[in-house]
């Protein structure tokens, strides 16, 4: 099975809700109150080969939770929109899905209770130095959505059972790793009061590039009139589309300062990989 969902980032979980309607299943990309997973990104080194994830049930009903490891990474569609590519039974040499094992895999979490899930890395003995990835998929079942009974005699009652999947990133490192980023095709353009960019981002080195995209729109005197920031995670390469509002900005020529940096507070210091910042300044005409 291949599943697509919003990728989020290593510090932001992805949630996918599914409603089971009698014999059919309808998948909805929506948030729902369910199991809370922390942390939202897991890092494992080859020395310890283990980590923990804590699940919390804030609801008033017991939740049945299963967990599986699936290889996945952020990718882009033809229009530049971002999604999470999940591949079961992947043969990608970067995949750790077959040898990062969660315990327990299935559990019942009572209302207000917590459950620790331990992750154990059991890589092949000849695993080369490098960084390996998987996504942990937590599927919670237990809640139901209220549905009004239909009119008729006798009335037909429809039950909807709620299934919510929370997906977080897990990274395993062996030996010395490094990262870098090659950027091209920034090419900003303004259309309908919106600033559009679609740079090509290509990872270099042996580890994913995890960082942030900072943008500043400046007047001729250097004063900042707009600013934006995005989290970015490049596992391979993608041609990602970015869009930012310009409503209310006077017509004229501005300078756009763009910077991609690995400095991010949500990545543990021991796993944060430093790489040179990428910067570029270009002129932008707002009609």
Which CATH number covers residue 131?
2.60.40.10
In the listed set 138, 156, 174, which residue is the last one of a domain according to the structure?
174
Is 246 in the same domain as 105?
A: no
Is 17 in the same domain as 39?
A: yes
pLDDT at 31: 39
Is 120 in the same domain as 261?
A: no
Is 141 in the same domain as 121?
A: yes
pLDDT at 136: 98
Is 51 in the same domain as 123?
A: yes
What's the token pair of residue 174?
């062996």
Q: How confident is the model at residue 7 (pLDDT cuts 50, 70, 90)?
A: low
Is 6 in the same domain as 38?
A: yes
Is 243 in the same domain as 183?
A: yes
pLDDT at 30: 35
Is 21 in the same domain as 104?
A: yes
pLDDT tens for residues 71-118?
999 999 999 999 999 998 889 999 999 999 999 999 999 999 999 999
Is 69 in the same domain as 153?
A: yes
pLDDT at 47: 96
Q: How confident is the model at residue 5 (pLDDT cuts 50, 70, 90)?
A: very low
Q: How many domains does the chain have?
A: 2
pLDDT tens for residues 130-166?
999 999 999 998 766 555 555 555 666 565 678 899 9
Is 18 in the same domain as 119?
A: yes
CATH code of the domain containing 273: 2.60.40.2360
Is 84 in the same domain as 217?
A: no
Output phi, psi for 271, to 5 deg. Answer: -115, 0
Q: How confident is the model at residue 3 (pLDDT cuts 50, 70, 90)?
A: very low
DSSP SS3 for 2: strand
pLDDT at 25: 32
Q: Which residues contact 18 (CB under 8 A, 6 or more apart)?
A: 25, 26, 27, 28, 162, 163, 164, 165
Average pLDDT of every residue of the chain? 87
Percentage of the residues of the chain whose pLDDT score is greater than 90: 74
Which domain, by its residues, includes 22? Answer: 2-174
Q: How far is CA 3 from CA 45, 95, 222, 249, in A?
A: 28, 16, 46, 40
Is 138 in the same domain as 184?
A: no
| Conformation bin of residue 248: beta by default, left when phi > 0, alpha when psi is -120 to 50 | left
In the listed set 154, 174, 194, which residue is the last one of a domain according to the structure?
174
In the listed set 147, 174, 201, which residue is the last one of a domain according to the structure?
174
């Amino acid at each position: 099975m291949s599943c697509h969902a919003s990728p989020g980032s290593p510090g932001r979980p992805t949630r996918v809700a599914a409603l089971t309607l009698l014999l059919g299943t309808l998948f909805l990309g929506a948030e729902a109150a369910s199991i809370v997973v922390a942390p939202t990104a897991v890092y494992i080194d080859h020395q310890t080969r283990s980590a923990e994830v804590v699940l919390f049930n804030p609801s008033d009903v017991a939740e049945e939770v299963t967990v599986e490891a699936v290889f996945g990474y952020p990718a882009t569609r033809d229009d530049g929109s971002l999604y999470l590519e999940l591949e079961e039974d992947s043969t990608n040499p970067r995949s750790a899905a077959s040898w990062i094992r969660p315990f327990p895999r299935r559990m019942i979490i009572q209302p207000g209770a917590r459950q620790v899930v331990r992750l154990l890395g059991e890589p092949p003995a000849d695993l080369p130095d490098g960084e390996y990835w998987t996504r942990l998929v937590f599927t919670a079942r237990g809640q139901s959505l209220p549905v009004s009974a239909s009119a008729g005699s006798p009335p037909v009652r429809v039950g909807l059972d709620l299934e919510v999947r929370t997906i977080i990133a897990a990274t395993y490192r062996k030996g010395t790793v490094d990262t870098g980023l090659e950027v091209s095709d920034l090419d900003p353009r303004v259309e309908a009061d919106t600033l559009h960019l679609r740079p090509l981002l290509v990872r270099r080195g042996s580890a994913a590039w995890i960082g942030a995209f900072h943008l500043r729109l400046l007047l001729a005197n250097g004063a900042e009139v707009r600013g934006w920031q995005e989290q970015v995670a490049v596992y391979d390469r993608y041609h990602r589309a970015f869009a930012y509002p310009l409503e209310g900005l006077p017509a004229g020529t501005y300078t756009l300062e763009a910077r991609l940096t690995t400095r991010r507070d949500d990545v543990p210091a021991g796993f944060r990989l430093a790489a040179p910042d990428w910067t570029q300044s270009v002129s932008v005409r707002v009609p």
